[in-house]
Amino acid sequence: MRSQGPATTPTAAAADTGPTATDRPPVAPPGVTGRGALWLGLGVVLLALNLRPALVAVSPLADTIRDESGMSAAAISLLTALPLLCFGLLAPVAPRLGRRFGTERALLATMVLIGAGTALRMLDSVVALFAGTVVIGAGIAVANVLLPGLIKRDFPARAGLMTGLYSMSLFGGAALAAGVTLPVQQASGMNWRTTLACWGALALVALVVWLPQLRTRTRVAAAVVRQAAHPVRGLWRSPLAWQVTAYMGLQSLNYYAAAAWLPTLLQDAGMSAGDAGWMLSFSSLLGIVGSFVAPVIVGRRLGAGTLAAVGALLCAVAYAGLLIAPVGGAYPWMSLLGLGQGAAISLALLFIVQRAPDARHVAQLSSMAQCFGYILAATGPTVLGAVHDASHNWTVPVVVLLVLLVPQIVVGFGAARDRQVAGSPQA
């Protein structure tokens, strides 16, 4: 099986047969080269860096927000769950926006939304806090879907490398926000609203760097533009598309459920709140390594299916270790967890890019995978919390996470097959 080469094309890979089969191969634009590729790559990295900090920054400030705003613990939980719901519910809209306005303009608009949302949260109003979070979530939801398609279109021969940089930037942004938000707030004396708003500056930088892309897209052939104007239908009848979707959903559920409750688990085991929070940030730092390395070595050292299994097994060892020695072995367990989760998210994104024949299919597959994936992920923290409340310990919730790694491995092998989803253009 040779599923993993980044240069897989519709002629080199088997099509996903059945009612979704396409009759003719899509027209593919040439990849970007030279200085244009470097500038575009920098833009992709900066866009990706903005897709987590404005949301992750809420968690370190949660106690302060609750105390100063009078919000309940349930309201704070809703505030952190809203973005995931936005990611899932708004994912189907993203391909339409990309076709209607162009990918580059739509991505520029996402940075505007993120910046506007962070500014809105500066207002002294709980309603503005929630509204700003929804605006930020909407911007991120669209970028989540469109960026893999852009990588497929403009970096066809470097899909693994660019997916690694993209997913590394996601983890890097999250780790940065988790690690520096509270120290910056304490050192500067800013209130929590201003501290949250500071992350809008990163969106402004990305917006400025991305602006030149609006005038350089004329290189795309007119035939490609006409073809991209039509959506792809039939993916929902594709078993391969559902395997990619299931892998995205299960690894997302694993990540967000663990991120929500592991600090509490460690505190209940006797670790201080500060150390428990640092452990989550430390895990994210290791996630940066895993997310970059995994797509780069796919097809060179290990097959994608094998690597998906290795990532899940690293998480399994980490969870088992947390059951046995949560405090004494915290560093090795969180290291393994970060590496495994980082590999999983980058493989989920790489499957979206590699299992689709062109950027148009990538956008539709990305929309499908992220719609169902993030809605599933949004249930993770709530379900895990309910299991903890019912069992009155952390053993059962961690065992649940361990069990969920089994289907993650199964669909990982399915999504790694050397095949491509196929769909027909909707007239």
In a domain, 21, yes or no: no
User: What pLDDT shows up at residue 31?
Assistant: 56
Domain that holds residue 43: 30-425
- Rounded-to-integer distance, Cα 183 and Cα 211, Å: 32
Strands 419-420 and 14-15 come out as parallel
Q: What is the pLDDT of residues 184-217, one digit of tens each?
A: 888 898 999 999 999 999 999 999 999 988 876 5
In a domain, 23, yes or no: no
In a domain, 364, yes or no: yes
Q: What is the pLDDT of residues 27-60, one digit of tens each?
A: 445 556 567 788 899 999 999 999 989 888 888 8
- Rounded-to-integer distance, Cα 1 and Cα 194, Å: 52
CATH number at residue 167: 1.20.1250.20
Average confidence (pLDDT) over 331-336: 96
DSSP 23: S
- Whether 70 has a pLDDT exceeding 90, the answer reads no
Say if CB 420 and CB 8 are below 8 A apart: yes
DSSP string, 354-373: HTSSSHHHHHHHHHHHHHHH
Our count of domains for the chain comes to 1
Lowest-pLDDT choice from 121-125, 153-157, 420-424 = 420-424
3-class secondary-structure state, position 281 = helix
In a domain, 5, yes or no: no
DSSP 274: H
In a domain, 8, yes or no: no
Give strand pairing partners of 298: 302
Average confidence (pLDDT) over 260-284: 85
Say if CB 65 and CB 58 are below 8 A apart: yes
In a domain, 118, yes or no: yes
In a domain, 22, yes or no: no
- Whether 159 has a pLDDT exceeding 50, the answer reads yes
Mean pLDDT, rounded, of the chain: 84
Supply 393's token pair.
């310990």
Query: What are the CA-CA distances from residue 344 to residues 15, 172, 211 (Å)?
Result: 24, 15, 32
User: What pLDDT shows up at residue 84?
Assistant: 85
Helix orientation angle between 200-210 and 103-120, rounded to the nearest 10 degrees: 160
In a domain, 378, yes or no: yes
Average confidence (pLDDT) over 311-337: 96
Q: Residue 322 — pLDDT band, cuts 50, 70, 90?
A: very high
Handedness of CA 14, 17, 20, 24 (dihedral sign): positive
Q: What is the pLDDT of residues 9-29, one digit of tens each?
A: 333 344 554 334 333 444 445
